[in-house]
Amino acid sequence: MLGRPSFPRPRARVASAAVLAVALGLAVLPAEAGILSGMGLRDDRPSHVQEALRQSAQLEASGDHASAEALRALASTPQAEWMTTGTPGQVRQQVRRAMERAQSTDLPPVLVAYNLPFRDCSQYSSGGSSGVAEYKAWIDGFAEGIRGEAVVVLEPDSLGLIPWYTGAHGEPDACRPAGADPATAAEDRFEMLSYAVDALTTLPDTRVYLDGTNSGWLAVGDAADRLVRAGVERADGFALNVSNFETTEKQLRYGTWISKCIHYGTAVDPGDFAGCGSQYYPATADDVSTWGRTDAWYAEHVDSARNGPSGPGDLARFVVDTSRNGQGPWTPEQSFPDPQPWCNPPGRGLGSPPSTDTGHELADAFLWVKIPGESDGECHRGRGSEVPDPAWGRVAPPAGAWFPEQALDLVENADPPLRR
């Protein structure tokens, strides 16, 4: 087996270099191999692994050996472990169990903290802590459970869906959940994220990535502004495309622009995040051939600036969730009142397997953060809560539950093809 690789730490933090590998109680190959793949399952495997293997056994019994093998390969590919509820003591124990599973493989787990108040803007994945004090106690418990190396993806969607917030461009967010105080909800969100960053970065071998949304969502300047407010300069960077389907190619450019916009808004023209070039201007989001215009904006206003970065070490780093982006985002063939392209879209595929071999100077890793095969929610496409999802011809399982049809869809459409 090759040695464990290392890569540069970002400028915001100094700690011992460690390989960023993905583990969910599964052994993996080193990053130099270009792929991290599972090497054996144990009885303490998480529930989604059990679901995948149960479905695989059913397919094997029916004679569909190819699909059964593909699902076994999916189950053995390292994926993140989500912590979504519980008391401080309970989440401490959940994290410790994840750490113990990882210790037997000598690889750090990827942990997702997902318990903010009004998470998912109280939609399909609603829930979370009841308030600021409860969340801080919960994240303290989460941090106390970490023993050794770990990677934490902190609160997906938390910066894309901020209750009662007005972004860098002066446009109010649509997230206005019942029960959230319009006067304090946004600042509470930043306070909790900042607290979590500090609680987790005090751990010497823990890497922390905030929510950076994806290239189909926030404009670059808005994403950068929110990240700075949440404490990205004290973290290890940000995570892109979590639970989404945007292509890796687009995320690498989007992430680079966010990193440079963070530098622009903090060192070149402090506070002017709204002035940053983005996927929407001077580029056109849906026409990648125009994205060179935004590359040129950063070359002129950041790379060549008097206070521009001296090199990649001056820029924030990022990770990309490639779990379901092998076929890119969904474009519905029929019209829906609300197409919800992010919610269980059909015809999608697994993306690049987890690896630290990204080929990009700012991208620390490709990870499977979202669990492939777990539902995004009921996805009614704007047709009412009692109507089956027309994209699948059935009512989809609740968010987080296993979705057998989608799991098969993902393995059959994987790009690159799933290694078996």
User: What average pLDDT does the segment 159-181 reach?
Assistant: 94
Do residues 323 and 406 lie in contact, with contact meaning Cβ atoms separated by under 8 Å?
A: no
User: What average pLDDT does the segment 366-395 reach?
Assistant: 91
CA distance 414 to 69: 14
User: What pLDDT digit, counting tens, does each position of 57-66 carry?
Assistant: 999 999 999 9
Pairing type for strands 363-367 and 110-113 reads unpaired
User: How would you write 7-30 as a 3-class SS string?
Assistant: CCCCCCCCCCCCCCCCCCCCCCCC
pLDDT band at 47 (very low <50, low <70, confident <90, very high): confident
Do residues 121 and 163 lie in contact, with contact meaning Cβ atoms separated by under 8 Å?
A: yes
Binding residues: 82, 217, 244, 342, 370, 374
User: What pLDDT digit, counting tens, does each position of 331-355 carry?
Assistant: 998 899 999 999 999 999 999 999 9
- Assess whether pLDDT exceeds 80 at residue 48: yes
Which residue of the set 364, 376, 389, 409 is catalytic? Answer: 376
Binding residues for substrate: 82, 217, 244, 342, 370, 374
- Assess whether pLDDT exceeds 90 at residue 106: no
Active site (annotated) includes residue 157: yes
E strands along 245-362, which residues? Answer: 317-321
User: What pLDDT digit, counting tens, does each position of 276-319 carry?
Assistant: 999 999 999 999 999 999 999 999 999 999 999 999 999 999 99
DSSP characters over 192-233: HHHHHHHHHHTSTTEEEEEE---TTSS-HHHHHHHHHHHTGG
Which residue of the set 120, 321, 364, 409 is catalytic? Answer: 120
Task: Domains for the chain: give ranges and CATH numbers.
Answer: 82-404 (3.20.20.40)
The pTM of the full predicted model, rounded to 2 decimals, is 0.89
User: What pLDDT digit, counting tens, does each position of 386-402 carry?
Assistant: 789 999 999 999 988 99
Active site (annotated) includes residue 236: no
pLDDT band at 105 (very low <50, low <70, confident <90, very high): low
Which residue of the set 157, 188, 211, 364 is catalytic? Answer: 157
Do residues 282 and 312 lie in contact, with contact meaning Cβ atoms separated by under 8 Å?
A: no
User: What average pLDDT does the segment 240-256 reach?
Assistant: 97
